Amino acid sequence: MKKIISYNVNGIRAALKKGFADWLKQENADIICIQETKAQPEQIDSMLFEFLGYKSYWFSAKKKGYSGVGILSKQIPDNIIYGMGNEKYDNEGRVIRADYGDTSVISVYHPSGSSGTVRQAFKMEWLKDFKNYINELSLKRKKLIISGDFNICRLWIDIHNPKRQQKTSGFLPEEREWFKSFIDTGFFDSFRKFYPEEMYSYSWWSYRMRARARNLGWRIDYHIISNTLETKITNAYILPEIKHSDHCPVVVIADF
């Protein structure tokens, strides 16, 4: 069994100052997919992770202090692929993939469209291109675990007060429609496999209005997994009590 965690840390260096390393040691996961590192590889203390038993792999944005993804792994992967082969997105450090035998684990950080129309248009373009990238990859790598911050609430039960959020980036009808079409190409949402109707289970909270204390959250962090692996997924859950970031870790247990 492998415990795989996805965690948008909202700055790896800031998270380390809040006890991230101690939590990692205690949690003892096999693979941790990290998003929003906000750091260049040379700014990350890889020896610290080595001391905790992890090989670390980082793919950073060209722009310093922005975006960036990583994978921590106890087992050395057979292969690491940096980026998705599209310079427009790879310049923002949004995808890194680790191959373990015939299974691939991807750490992905989808763009946010909340800053305005330009970035929302970029996000919609990304969603189309990411779907094409994954569908093409699936022809060669049929067992995918896509872990990360999708910046979209998939279902009405994935967001507080959904009626009021219809025009908010991250819950736009066209974003949810994209998510449905993506799932329909051969994937499932691991958390909803085990908790299909559970409400008030979120992975991100605004820093404003005491949102986390009041649990006014969004579920935007996922492990989206190939249907070919469905019998190998034994559990999935969220860790809302872990607070190194405005997100919390999401977990899946996989037998591969």
Q: Enumerate the active-site residues.
A: 109, 149
Which pair of tokens denotes residue 223? 């492990």
Residue 107 CA: distances (Å) to CA of 33, 207, 209, 235: 5, 24, 30, 19
Find the helix or strand (DSSP H, E) in which 195 lies: none
- Which two three-digit tokens encode residue 95? 């995808």
Three-class SS state of 193: helix
- Please state, in angstroms and rounded to a whole number, the distance separating the CA atoms of residues 123 and 128: 9
Please count the other Cβ atoms lying within 10 Å of the Cβ belonging to residue 171: 22
Torsion angle (degrees, nearest 10) of CA 43, 40, 94, 63: 140
Amino acid present at 138? S
Are 69 and 34 in contact by the 8 Å Cβ rule? The answer is yes
Strands lying side by side in the sheet with 95-100? 79-82, 95-100, 103-109, 143-149, 221-226, 187-189
Radius of gyration of the chain (CA): 17
